[in-house]
Amino acid sequence: MQVRASPDGLEMIYQLTWKTLPGLKGLYCEGFRAAETNSPDTDRGVAVELASEAERDVFLRQLEEHFAAQRFSNNAAAFEAVKSHALERAATKQS
């Protein structure tokens, strides 16, 4: 587990994973998971820093709720939407 010092304490780095599945109105994302990692893969994936397991659980619930009704035309659009949302949330949390 890698930890980094932050103004409000130590944070763990989590690698996000999810499923992109076909639906009647387009692709959708579900099954969000976050695994602690020592070497985040930000080239092919999404990594976020979270302060605790409780914060991780809240974050995952928020992802499920946010993406529940959204549909995408292709995998790239779905990936970019999840990545953008996660990074925006991380930036908002740090400011």
Alpha-carbon span 43 to 25, nearest angstrom: 29
Is the whole model's pTM more than 0.85, yes or no?
no
Alpha carbon distance, N-terminus to C-terminus of the chain = 25
Q: Among 60, 52, 67, which Cα is nearest to 33's? A: 60
Q: Which residue has the tokens 């080239």?
A: 43
**Count of domains in the chain?**
1
Range of the domain at 51: 3-94
**pLDDT tens profile 28-81:** 999 999 999 999 998 889 999 999 999 999 999 999 999 999 999 999 999 999
